[in-house]
Amino acid sequence: MKNYNLVVIGAGPAGLAAAIEAKKSGVDSILIIERDCELGGILQQCIHNGFGLSYFKEELTGPEYAERFIDEAKDLNIEIMMDTMVLEMTASKELVLSGPERGIVEIKARSIILAMGCRERTAGAIAVPGHRPAGVLTAGTAQKYINKQGLMVGKKIIILGSGDIGLIMARRMTLEGAEVEAVVEIMPYSGGLNRNIVQCLEDYDIPLMLSHSVTKIHGKNRVEGVTIQKVDENLIPIEGTETHFDCDTLLLSVGLIPENELSRQAEILIDGATKGMIVDETMQTSISGIFACGNVVHVHDLVDYVTEEGQRAGRAAAKYILGQREEINEPPYSTHAGNGIRYVVPQKINRNSKSETLYLFMRSKDVYKDAELSVKVDGLEILRKREDNMVPSEMIRLKLDKALIPTDGKEIIISVIQGDQL
């Protein structure tokens, strides 16, 4: 059984950044495992511009962003196995891999960084009634067909879900000559960034139907149309609001789920709200020496934050491997989502560790204007911060000075304060 100091699973932006950072921190014998036939993960099919504004201070396309990290990993001579799938992972850091070149291989690592990313929710996940005709596919699948293989998926398109991938695909399909009839969103607000509504929908006069959903797919062999209905405040379709749209394709942009099959195998603890692993501020999971970063922990909207998270995991894994990790015996602080907050990452914060600047990442449950975020430790408020505009589609990054947390504290709760509570 071959031994490595560090095995990184996944060569998307999180895994690449993590491996590079670990190498730069002095770790040798690093292996990156990637199941696809090229590096860079989903960035390779995200050919649109808009990546890297905060990290590189310039606007790059997905492939350009990926290439910078791929080049760096290669320059650092980090070993990479492509076309290779990790089939098994144990808590004792033994892995079973499979690939066409090597067959089944068993390896052991001193430390592992999990960077498997996420998957799209599919038609099955949203249970739309009707047959299962050809022409229903996830926005990301359509994106791969068009941008990498040059295959058009349809001519008359309805997009369900207004997440960023859905918006980006509305523009992409239009540019390639398809007619995008509408983007349909069940919530009263869009799931994507404002800038994408402007440059992907408004630029091309594509209607965004908020508080609407697709309630029936017509057609048996191929999609022939859909029924769209308005929904009430409980997201229940309102009778009498049915409208028929002719279309040959329905694209779904209805959310992403962290891909944690391997993590579950190793019995790593998962957060029910993020569907990702529970991590501390160094990105260590519930198993010592196993770290995680990127969309496998929580779904991000900006790759720059994924990169930073990967780097944090890489530095922490390096410390672990080099025997420099501070051992703390006392149980960590735990963070919790209070009123108006859906989740908080990291879920654990170690005590007394001389860690880097502490950032808490979270999403709001609803749209809040002119509200404030309140951080309380065991009922005592330690921080208040104004947030002009909170929307569920935009991750909030809150900087927290660790010195503010009382040493005997236990629970850190973050809540939204609004209206007359202010």
Partner 1 sequence: MNKKMVCIVCPRGCNMEVEYKDLNKIIVSGNHCKRGKIYAESEIKDPKRIVPTTVVIKDALFDRLPVKTEKPIPKNLIFEVMKLINNVTVSAPVKVGDVIIENILDTGTNVVASKSVERVKFK
**Of the residues 76, 104, 125, 198, which one makes contact with partner 1 according to CB under 8 A:** 198
C-alpha span between 212 and 207 (Å, rounded)? 12
Selected from 2, 74, 102, 148, the binder of partner 1 by CB under 8 A is 148
Binding mask 26-65 for partner 1 (x = CB under 8 A): -----------xx-----x--xxxx--xx----xxxxxx-
Binding flag, residue 276, partner 1 (CB under 8 A): no
* SS3 sequence of 54-81: CCCCCCEEHHHHHHHHHHHHHHCCCEEE
Residues in 378-397 at the binding interface with partner 1, rule: CB under 8 A: 394
Two tokens, residue 314: 């890489």
Residues 290-329 that bind partner 1 (CB under 8 A): 301-302
Residue type, 116: M
Q: Which of 197, 313, 341, 396 binds partner 1 (CB under 8 A)?
A: 197
Residue 104 Cα distances to 11, 86, 99, 410, angstroms: 20, 10, 7, 45
- Taking the complex as a whole, the smallest distance from the CB of residue 147 to partner 1 amounts, in Å, to 6
Task: Write down the least CB distance from residue 61 to partner 1, Å.
Answer: 4
Cα 414 to chain center, whole Å?
21
370 makes contact with partner 1 (CB under 8 A)? no
Q: Which is nearer to partner 1, 164 or 271 (CB)?
A: 164
DSSP 127: T
CB of 202 to partner 1, least distance (A): 8
3-state secondary structure of 282: coil
Angle at 148 between CA 142 and CA 151, to 5 degrees: 55
d(CA 21, CA 316): 9
**67 makes contact with partner 1 (CB under 8 A):** yes
CB of 302 to partner 1, least distance (A): 6
Query: Contact between 150 and partner 1 (CB under 8 A)?
Result: yes
Say whether residue 191 binds partner 1 (CB under 8 A).
Answer: no
- The CA distance from 366 to 160, in Å, is 20
CA–CA dist 177, 331 (Å, integer): 58
Look up residue 189 and give its amino acid.
Answer: Y
Number of residues binding to partner 1, judged by CB under 8 A: 33
Cβ at position 18, least distance to partner 1 in Å: 22
Q: Which residues bind partner 1 (CB under 8 A)?
A: 37-38, 44, 47-50, 53-54, 59-64, 67, 146-150, 175-176, 193-195, 197-199, 203, 301-302, 394
